[in-house]
Structure 1
Amino acid sequence: MTDQPAENEGPIVPFLRIGPPPDRTRWEGWQQWRRIRDTFIPAPRLSLRQYTDLSPRRRGLHDLHRTATHVNMRLQETPMSMRVSGLMRGRLQNNALKVEPGTRDGLMVNGGGFQGKTETACSAAAAFEDLWRAVQRQRLPEQPQDPGTRDVFVPVAYCRLPVRATPKALCKTILDVYGDPHPNNLDGLIRSVRDAVRDHETTALLIDDVTRLRLHRGDDQDTLDLIRELMDLNVTLVLIGVDIPHSGLLRGAYIDPRTKQWVFPDVKRGKSHNEAASTQTERRFDMVDLDPFGYTTPAGISAFLDHLAGIEEQLRLFRSFDGMLTTGEMPEYLFRRTHGIVGLLRRLVEDGCTEAITSGEERLTPELLARTSIRLGNLADLDPDAGEIPEIPQDIKPPQQPQKKSKRPRNTVFDDRGDRPAADG
Structure 2
Amino acid sequence: MSARLRSLERTYSLSLKRGWNRYANESERERPEVLGREALAALSPRARLEYEEVRSVCHANIGPIKTPQLLSVHSDLWNILRSNRQDGNKVRSAAALDAFPGLGKSTIAASFGRDFHRLQIELYGQLTDEGHDRVPVIRIQLTDKTSRRDFNSALCRFFHLPGADSGNANQLGNKAADAILTCETKLIIVDDVHFLDMKRRDDRAVANHFKSLASTFPVTFLHVGVGLEARGLLDEGLSDNEDLAQNGRRMTALTVDAFDVDSEPGRRIWRDLLLAVEQCVVLADAFQGMIADELSDYLFARSTGHFASLMALVARGCDRAIQDGEERLTIDVLDRVKNDAAAEKARLEMVAAFENGRLSSRPSQSRRSTPRKYRRGGSAA
Q: Is structure 2 residue 22 aligned with structure 1 residue 32?
A: yes
Task: Give 1:303 deviation, angstroms.
Answer: 0.7
Distance 1:230 1:374 in 2: 41
1:272 matched residue in structure 2: none
Residue 224 of structure 2: SS of its match in structure 1? Answer: strand
Distance 2:235 2:144 in 1: 20
Residue 328 of structure 2: SS of its match in structure 1? Answer: coil
CA deviations over 1:104-157 (Å, ceiling 9, x no partner): 1111111111211111111111111111112113xxx848x9xxx954321110
2:345 matched residue in structure 1: 394
Task: Give 1:37 deviation, angstroms.
Answer: 4.5
Q: Is structure 2 residue 221 aligned with structure 1 residue 245?
A: no
- Structure 1 segments unaligned to the other structure (5+ residues): 6-11, 255-262, 269-279, 376-389, 402-425
Task: Give 1:198 deviation, angstroms.
Answer: 1.4
CA contact (8 A) 2:23 2:114 kept: no
Residue 44 of structure 1: SS of its match in structure 2? Answer: coil
Task: Give 1:62 deviation, angstroms.
Answer: 1.6
CA deviations over 1:311-348 (Å, ceiling 9, x no partner): 111111112221111124x2121111111111111011
Q: Is structure 2 residue 128 aligned with structure 1 residue 163?
A: no
1:314 matched residue in structure 2: 280
Q: Is structure 2 residue 47 aligned with structure 1 residue 64?
A: no
Distance 1:187 1:173 in 2: 13
Q: In structure 1, what residue type is equivalent to 2:219? A: V
1:267 matched residue in structure 2: 243
Q: What TM-score comes out, normalization by structure 1 length?
A: 0.75
Between the two proteins, the alignment pairs up a number of residues equal to 349
CA deviations over 1:344-381 (Å, ceiling 9, x no partner): 11011111111111111111112221220015xxxxxx
CA deviations over 1:52-90 (Å, ceiling 9, x no partner): 222232222222222222112121011111111111123
- Structure 2 segments unaligned to the other structure (5+ residues): 356-381
- 1:395–1:127 CA distance, 2 compared to 1 (3 A): closer
Match of 1:207 among 167, 186, 190: 190
CA contact (8 A) 1:15 1:65 kept: no
CA contact (8 A) 1:15 1:68 kept: no
Task: Give 1:199 deviation, angstroms.
Answer: 1.8
1:327-338 maps to which residues of 2 (within 5 A)?
327-328=293-294, 330-338=295-303
1:123 matched residue in structure 2: 111
Distance 1:290 1:321 in 2: 31
Q: In structure 1, what residue type is equivalent to 2:104? A: G
2:337 matched residue in structure 1: 372
Residue 293 of structure 1: SS of its match in structure 2? Answer: coil
Q: In structure 1, what residue type is equivalent to 2:11? A: P
Distance 1:266 1:131 in 2: 37
Residue 157 of structure 1: SS of its match in structure 2? Answer: strand
Bigger Rg, structure 1 or 2 = 1
CA deviations over 1:293-312 (Å, ceiling 9, x no partner): 11111111111111111111
Distance 2:49 2:123 in 1: 46
Q: In structure 2, what residue type is equivalent to 1:393? A: E
Residue 62 of structure 1: SS of its match in structure 2? Answer: helix
Distance 1:82 1:343 in 2: 17
Distance 1:224 1:316 in 2: 45
Q: In structure 1, what residue type is equivalent to 2:210? A: I
Cα RMSD of the aligned pairs, angstroms, is: 2.9
Q: Is structure 2 residue 91 aligned with structure 1 residue 103?
A: yes
Q: What TM-score comes out, normalization by structure 2 length?
A: 0.83
Worse-superposed segment, 281-290 or 174-183: 281-290
Residue 250 of structure 2: SS of its match in structure 1? Answer: strand
Worse-superposed segment, 44-53 or 307-316: 44-53
Task: Give 1:51 deviation, angstroms.
Answer: 2.0
2:8 matched residue in structure 1: 16
CA deviations over 1:142-183 (Å, ceiling 9, x no partner): 48x9xxx95432111000112202111111112211122345
Structure number with the bigger relative contact order (C-alpha 8 A, sep ≥ 6) is: 2
2:44 matched residue in structure 1: 55
Distance 2:133 2:274 in 1: 41
- 1:207–1:81 CA distance, 2 compared to 1 (3 A): same
Distance 1:282 1:296 in 2: 33
Residue 240 of structure 1: SS of its match in structure 2? Answer: strand
Distance 2:342 2:227 in 1: 14
Residue 295 of structure 1: SS of its match in structure 2? Answer: coil
Distance 1:267 1:229 in 2: 11
Match of 2:133 among 148, 152, 155: 152
CA contact (8 A) 2:127 2:133 kept: no
Q: In structure 1, what residue type is equivalent to 2:305? A: G
CA contact (8 A) 2:236 2:248 kept: no
CA contact (8 A) 1:42 1:65 kept: no
Distance 2:270 2:142 in 1: 32
2:206 matched residue in structure 1: 223
1:358 matched residue in structure 2: 323
Match of 2:250 among 267, 279, 284: 284
Task: Give 1:92 deviation, angstroms.
Answer: 2.2
Structure holding more helix per residue: 2
